[in-house]
Amino acid sequence: MRIERIELRLVQMPLIAPFETSFGVETIEEHIIVRVDGDGITGWGECVASEGPWYSYETNQTAWHVLRDFLIPLVWQNELHAASEFPQLAARVRGHRMAKAGLESALWDWFAKAQNKSLAQMFNALQTTQRDYVLPERITVGVSVGLQATPNALVEQVRAYRQEGYTRIKIKIKPGHDVELVRALRAEFPTLRLQVDANSAYRLRDADIFRAMDDYNLLLIEQPLSNDDIFQHIKLQRELQTALCLDESIHSVDDAEAALELGACRIINIKPGRVGGYTEAVKIHDLAAARNAPVWCGGMLESGIGRAGNVALASLPNFKLPGDLSASRRYYRQDIVEPEFEVDAEGKMRVPSGPGIGVEVSQKNLDAVTVSTQVFKRK
């Protein structure tokens, strides 16, 4: 059982509509697709870094460098028996978690296929929360709505997503575009499951803005203060009724433990890319479960390759809140997997049950979005 070949592809996928957050606008999603081959089995993974260091310090160029020069050589130099062994090998490389997660996710697919198991089954076996947990066939998912030109445009966009089936909506906020957006949505949709995401755009002195949000029955407020911060979030959470949820500040199970124990948040957004892969993601899931803190699966506008693993992860028992896991067509005119991911009239998504990621990669669609490729082989 050996991997003999690894391929990296830089892909650029045009988004159906620009996605605007407090840190910028994205129109084309650039990611790295990782393919590993050996013993006649192909594993696929996705690195969710972006073109620029806006959401995190990683970019596709730093990820490519770290994959090529440090992470891929680890696969040649070590005998791997499971994808969950990879993080220990990669621990010598500080940070660069998206790069690590990109390769680890391809290894997860490869090992899962070698055992004829779905990723959901693999992650279920790894989790320690409920040993005999019966995986769901479908999970409730949500949609993350970018900043819109006007509050009215936001209301109409949310109405359209609700008509498509989504029952949980997250909106992006930034200074000057916050409470009044929540107010406008609440006036129109009084019982909608609604949450907001600031992507680190505020300071503690803006606490009044978040206090005002306490009146609108939000599920949570995501990452209001600085990326990497724990201390200021503790102070803010003390002032609020609404639960804070951390995204950018949580890079590891240790960060998650600190944040929950110190009261910096009550909920955690788990993004496998941000925490170095699915192995660490499951550890955070288990830690949060032991502390009675719900988690949910965040997204990085993944293609169907990354989405497949995220949906599998989100089928674990402590993913108590719907994730940012939307249908392929919410993002892209054409996904690179078949079948594409869909959301039904009840706002649910099917968890792939076939081996590994459980969807087929369309070579034609992948080739159409590939801008560069590099192949590495075992010597």
Question: 216 and 183 in contact (C-beta within 8 Å)?
Answer: yes
Q: How far apart are CA 210 and CA 28, in angstroms?
A: 32
Q: Binding pattern to ligand OSB, positions 61-100, x when CB under 6 A?
A: ----------------------------------------
- Which residue's Cβ has the minimum distance to Mg ion? 247
CB of 299 to ligand OSB, least distance (A): 2
CA distances from 366 to 6, 38, 308, 337, 373 (A): 16, 20, 16, 8, 11
Q: Is 320 a catalytic residue?
A: no
Nearest to Mg ion of 29, 222 (CB atom): 222
Q: Is 170 a catalytic residue?
A: no
Q: How far apart are CA 351 and CA 349, in angstroms?
A: 6
Answer yes or no whether residue 29 interacts with ligand OSB by CB under 6 A.
Answer: no
Looking at 100, 117, 170, 271, which residue is catalytic? 271
Answer yes or no whether residue 249 interacts with ligand OSB by CB under 6 A.
Answer: no
Answer yes or no whether residue 144 interacts with ligand OSB by CB under 6 A.
Answer: yes
| Phi and psi torsions of 170, nearest 5° | -115, 135
Question: 313 and 349 in contact (C-beta within 8 Å)?
Answer: no
| Stretch binding ligand OSB (CB under 6 A), from 128-136, 179-187, 295-303, 360-368 | 295-303
Q: How far apart are CA 115 and CA 104, in angstroms?
A: 16
Q: Which residues have CB under 8 Å from 372's CB, separation 6+? A: 9, 10
Nearest to ligand OSB of 242, 326 (CB atom): 326
Q: Binding pattern to ligand OSB, positions 171-200, x when CB under 6 A?
A: --------------------------x-x-
CB of 286 to ligand OSB, least distance (A): 22
Answer yes or no whether residue 148 interacts with ligand OSB by CB under 6 A.
Answer: no
Helix (H, G, I), strand (E, B) or coil at 7: strand
Looking at 170, 172, 283, 348, which residue is catalytic? 172
Q: What is the DSSP string of 137-161?
A: SEEEB-EEEPP-SSHHHHHHHHHHH
Nearest to ligand OSB of 109, 247 (CB atom): 247
Answer yes or no whether residue 224 interacts with ligand OSB by CB under 6 A.
Answer: no
Nearest to Mg ion of 66, 301 (CB atom): 301
Nearest to ligand OSB of 52, 263 (CB atom): 52
Nearest alpha carbon to residue 109 among 35, 5, 47, 40: 35
Please state the length of the chain: 379
Q: Give the helix/strand (H/E) hosting 286.
A: helix 278-290
Angle between helices 278-290 and 304-313 (to 10 degrees): 30
Which residues, 322 to 341, sit near ligand OSB by CB under 6 A? 324, 326
Helix (H, G, I), strand (E, B) or coil at 248: coil
**What is residue 223's DSSP assignment?**
-
| Stretch binding ligand OSB (CB under 6 A), from 256-264, 292-300, 342-350, 352-360 | 292-300
Binding site for ligand OSB (CB under 6 A): 55, 144, 197, 199, 247, 298-301, 324, 326
- Residues marked as catalytic: 172, 271
